[in-house]
Amino acid sequence: MAFLRDAWIASRVASALSSDQVRLVPDERPDFEIQTDDRVLQFEATEADMDGRRRGDEPDDLGWRPDPVEEWRKRFEAIPAALDRVVTKKVGKDYPPGTALVVYVNLGCYGAYVEEGIPILRAGTEPAKDKFKAVLVIWEGTLYKFWEDGCPSSDRWPYASADDDF
């Protein structure tokens, strides 16, 4: 499932940055590249989620089920630990110079805690700021760049628009 996750993350980054081309990299690192304005940018991708959750291990459930607000808060409160797990793992590896890190935070809250969440995302990704060219986060329909060249950044791009067909 990692291949599909990386492809999904790459598609969101490419869409948000209005890229000309995107491709998954067959080597171990980085995971994908995008081309914008004759520049090729390299990215390592990871997913922050509930501890112990593994993509593809959920039971097939074709029915609707409620998602109470209490569950939204539970997911939101899991973000710091989830970021710590994945960022620590990525910081411990070697990457080609100029590689950026993209963290997909798969702990959605339907936009309920975005303002409260931005400082948490920035703090949670800070340990990666000196290891990677840039550190970006995908959360709640937006791509955020929190760090570039070790310095804080505040860029953000929606990766989907209301005009997108589903």
161 pLDDT higher than 60: no
pTM of the entire structure? Answer: 0.91
Which of 40-44, 155-159, 160-164 has the highest average model confidence (pLDDT)?
A: 40-44
Strands 142-148 and 21-24, by their bridges, are unpaired
Instruction: Look up tokens 């070790």; give the residue.
Output: 150
Q: What is the pLDDT of residues 67-93, one digit of tens each?
A: 999 999 999 999 999 999 999 999 999
Other Cβ atoms within 10 Å of 124 Cβ, number: 24
- In this predicted model, what pLDDT tens digit does every residue of 110-155 receive, in sequence order? 999 999 999 999 999 999 999 999 999 999 999 999 999 999 999 9
Q: Map out the domains of the chain with their CATH numbers.
A: 2-55+66-158 (3.40.1540)
First CA to last CA across the chain, in angstroms? 22
> What are the CB-based long-range contacts (under 8 Å, 24+) for 68-72?
69/112, 72/108, 72/109, 72/110, 72/112, 72/113
Higher pLDDT, 99 or 53: 99
